[in-house]
Structure formats: C-alpha cells, structure tokens
Amino acid sequence: MATYNEPTWGTPQEAVGDCSSLVTSGPTPFIMTGILTRLLQYHFYDPRNVVNPQLRSLTWSNDCMEKQEDGSYKQRGLYIGSASSEDNNSVQASPSILVKRGAIQNQIVTNLVVPNGLNSRDNSVKGQKDQVTIHGKHSIICKGSTGAEASSIGEEAYFRFLNYKTVIRNDFRLGSFFVDGISDVQEMTQDSSKQFYVVVQLSWAYVYRWMLRIEAPQIKRTHFLYDDM
C-alpha cells in the first residue's frame, strides 16, 4: 500500500483585499466624474458594445490624441474625457464625449448623538454623528462634426446609462441614479468651424455620514500670568 507524506503548509494568503474607498468615503463628485468617464470609455473601447452600427468605427483608446512633431495634435477615433481637462486640444476635439460636473447640493437628514462609541482604550468615546444627502448632476456633452453624428453619439450614451442605471446605482453605492433626458441638437462655432452637440443629463444622490469625537478634554478655564516689567 502506497503511503504519502503529509503536505507542508506555507504562509497563508490574504483572500480578501483592501476595501475600495467607495466603502468609506462614498462616491465623491470628483470620483463620480471619473466613474462616468470610465464607463463611457469602456463602452466605446470595444465596437461590439456599440449598438448603433454606424458608430462602431468610432472607438476610444488611450492614445486617441496623438501629439505631432510640430506640437499639434492629431485625433484618432473618439475622444472621451472630462470637460475640465487641462488639455485644451482634447477638450476641443470632435467627435468627442465630455463629462462635465454640475452643481452639488446637500440636504440635512438628521443629527445623531452617539453615547457609546468604540475605542481601543476604554470603549466609551462619545461623539456627534452627522449625515447629509448629497445631490449631484453631470452633463454628458456629445460632440460631432455633423448634427446626425452628434445625435447618434448622444443616443448611444443615453441608452447606455438608461439600460444600466440600476447596476450603476448598486455597484457604486448610490442612493439614486437617474437619466433625466437628452437635449436636442445644438450648433456651435469653434476654431472657425461649425460643430454640433447634444447633452445627456444625469442626476445622482447618496447619503454621506461622518462622526466627530473628542480626542482631548475641552478647556474650561484659562489663566494667564504676566511678569512685572
């Protein structure tokens, strides 16, 4: 009968990694801009994701804005980025999708006094726990060289967010995520050339919570001594 030696066990591996910052701080307005930008980039990265067959040739890539030897930029494919980008060449690109953050507002939910907090020393830390509902809006600006191109890009982004709004809300720990609508085709003049754009409006909200606790005793009385001159 064959016998086998007992295997030796090495150092155990961590099965669970560090949690995302979304768990602790929530999706801040800046993070929301990055989330929406990434979702659009991933959608247009693979032509198989694009529903409209006329747009499958407009793919996004990291090097869609190629810098030339004379310092100018040559665009390849579809540019997708933040409207507040420091790269003015990319902001003016067409066709493109620009993600612009709107106004942020907050509404007080309630103030909670926490009589028994958790502390590694005495387990008796008192604090003030606050929470507010943060409401935000984002505009997805879809630009094209023609009105039909801008309209097609806008509809692709509009239905993308509309179809996956529930998944986006759950995955990024939002209280609500809505696709408010899409505008009609607008015309603009940039660098002496006509461009067209439509705007997809998104709104979202989540509850932001934090707690303030006393780390040192409050000063009740202060007494100053002055030396006689």
Please give the C-alpha separations between residue 76 and each of 16, 60, 190, in angstroms, as whole numbers.
40, 8, 19
How high is the pLDDT of residue 222?
A: 62
Please give the C-alpha separations between residue 10 and each of 3, 16, 90, 144, 174, in angstroms, as whole numbers.
22, 18, 51, 58, 41
C-alpha–C-alpha distance, residues 149 and 14, integer Å: 49
Average pLDDT over residues 199-215: 88
How high is the pLDDT of residue 119?
A: 47
Q: Are the beta carbons of 106 and 135 closer than 8 angstroms?
A: yes
Output 129 or 131, whichever has higher pLDDT. 131
pLDDT band at 225 (very low <50, low <70, confident <90, very high): low
113-127 pLDDT, tens digit per residue, is 455 444 445 444 566
For 171, the enclosing helix (H) or strand (E) is helix 165-171
Q: Is the pLDDT of residue 191 over 80?
A: no
Q: Which of 46-50, 150-154, 187-191 has the lowest mean pLDDT?
A: 187-191
C-alpha–C-alpha distance, residues 152 and 51, integer Å: 10
Average pLDDT over residues 42-49: 93
To the nearest 5 percent, what fractions of the chain are helix, strand and coil?
Answer: 25, 35, 40
How is residue 90 annotated by DSSP?
H
The separation between CA 139 and the C-alpha centre of its own chain, rounded to angstroms, equals 12
Quick check: helix, strand or coil at residue 229?
Answer: coil
Q: Are the beta carbons of 132 and 107 closer than 8 angstroms?
A: yes
The residues pairing with 143 across neighbouring beta strands, listed in sequence order, are 96, 197
Q: Where are the domains of the chain?
A: 21-62+75-212
C-alpha–C-alpha distance, residues 229 and 218, integer Å: 32
How high is the pLDDT of residue 46?
A: 92
How high is the pLDDT of residue 5?
A: 73
pLDDT band at 49 (very low <50, low <70, confident <90, very high): very high
50-108 pLDDT, tens digit per residue, is 999 999 988 888 877 666 666 666 677 899 988 887 555 555 677 999 999 999 999 88
Q: Is the pLDDT of residue 23 over 50?
A: yes
Question: To 5 degrees, how large is the angle CA 223–CA 224–CA 226?
Answer: 150
C-alpha–C-alpha distance, residues 89 and 98, integer Å: 13
133-183 pLDDT, tens digit per residue, is 999 999 999 999 899 999 999 999 999 999 999 999 999 989 999 999 999
How high is the pLDDT of residue 229?
A: 52
Whether the upstream peptide bond of residue 95 has omega within 30° of 0, thus cis, is yes
Q: Is the pLDDT of residue 24 over 70?
A: no
The residues pairing with 101 across neighbouring beta strands, listed in sequence order, are 138
